């Protein structure tokens, strides 16, 4: 999993040197260096393995939901700090019948195999109950909702979803649900790899 630190640069002013009455424009570079680094971790190496699934076990006229699996996520910081996750779908554009979930790749015939999504359960922020919140506008506002591929993810205090909670030690269960497309939509004459892949990039506020 990736971590991203903002960099603080000295404000830089560029002014074009020219005769009197010349026009000018400013360039300002800003950011913040935080002293509180955080380390995220997923149990099992972050791998959900469904093993081999027989094509005969797939529902022909409806999607097939595979058994849910749960990973333990922890984030440990040097001190309480506000942070969020920015998800990156490495199989973007391959999610079957939805834009909210992560893709699973394509069959050998180029068909969308399915999708997966995650839910944050049993959220604890420094030992206290907390809840999953999301931002759909780049972090300007936050609301209580499920973690979806196109949102920013964070945790908020119970009863207050307006902003990410400063946290030193975060624990939660990350429930992963995998859905395979209708069997009738797939060409399964050869083995097909379930190939979902995502990065949860931790960033600071």
Average pLDDT over residues 79-106: 94
CB 167 within 8 A of CB 156: no
Predicted TM-score (pTM) of the model is 0.81
Question: Considering its fold, how many domains does the chain have in total?
Answer: 1
Burial 14-27 (b: 16+ CB within 10 A, else e): eeeeeeeeeeeeee
Which tens digits make up the pLDDT trace of 10-68? Answer: 333 344 445 556 787 777 575 666 667 999 999 999 999 999 999 999 999 999 999 99
Mean pLDDT of 148-171: 95
More confidently predicted of 19 and 118: 118
pLDDT higher than 50, residue 134: yes
Beta bridge mates, 42: 73
pLDDT value, residue 113: 95
What are the residues facing 115 on neighbouring strands?
Answer: 103, 179
Residue 200 belongs to some domain of the structure? yes
Residue 16 in any domain: the answer is no
Q: If you average pLDDT over each of 2-16, 121-135, 185-199, which comes out highest? A: 121-135
Does residue 178 sit within a domain? Answer: yes
pLDDT above 80 (res 131) = yes
Give a yes or no: residue 21 inside a domain. no
Of 83, 74, 96, the C-alpha closest to 204 is 83
Low-confidence winner among 14-18, 64-68, 127-131, 148-152 (lowest mean pLDDT): 14-18
The angle at the Cα of 50, spanning 49 to 56, to the nearest 5 degrees, equals 160
pLDDT at residue 77 above 90?
A: yes
The CATH code of the domain that includes 67 is 2.60.40
- Alpha helices in 39-151, H assignment, sequence order: none
Q: Taking residues 170-175, what's their average pLDDT?
A: 96
Classify residue 66: in a domain, yes or no: yes
pLDDT for 29 equals: 73
| pLDDT the model gives residue 41 | 94
Q: Which residue range forms the structural domain that includes residue 188?
A: 38-204
Q: What is the pLDDT confidence band of residue 133, given thresholds at 50, 70 and 90?
A: very high
Whether 27 is covered by a domain: the verdict is: no
**Would the pLDDT of 2 be above 50?**
no
DSSP-assigned states of every residue in 25-49: ----------S--EEEEEGGGG---
Residue 6 has pLDDT above 50, yes or no: no
């Amino acid at each position: 999993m990736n971590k991203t630190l903002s960099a603080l640069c000295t404000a830089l002013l560029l002014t074009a040197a020219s005769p009197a009455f010349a026009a000018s424009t400013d360039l300002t570079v800003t950011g913040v260096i935080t002293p509180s680094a955080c380390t995220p971790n997923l149990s099992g190496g972050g791998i959900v393995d469904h093993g081999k699934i027989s094509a005969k076990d797939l529902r022909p006229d409806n999607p097939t939901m595979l058994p849910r699996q749960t990973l333990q996520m922890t984030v440990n910081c040097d001190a309480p700090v506000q942070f969020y996750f920015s998800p990156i779908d490495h199989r973007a554009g391959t999610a079957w019948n939805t834009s909210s979930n992560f893709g699973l790749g394509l069959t050998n015939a180029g068909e969308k195999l399915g999708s997966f999504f995650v839910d944050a359960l049993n959220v604890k922020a420094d030992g206290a109950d907390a809840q999953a919140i999301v931002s759909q506008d780049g972090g300007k506002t936050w609301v209580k909702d499920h973690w979806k591929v196109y949102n920013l993810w964070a945790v908020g205090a119970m009863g207050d979803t307006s902003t990410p909670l400063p946290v030193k030690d975060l624990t939660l269960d990350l429930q992963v649900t995998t859905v395979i497309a209708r069997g009738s939509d797939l060409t399964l004459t050869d083995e097909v790899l379930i190939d979902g892949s995502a990065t949860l990039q931790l960033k600071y506020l």
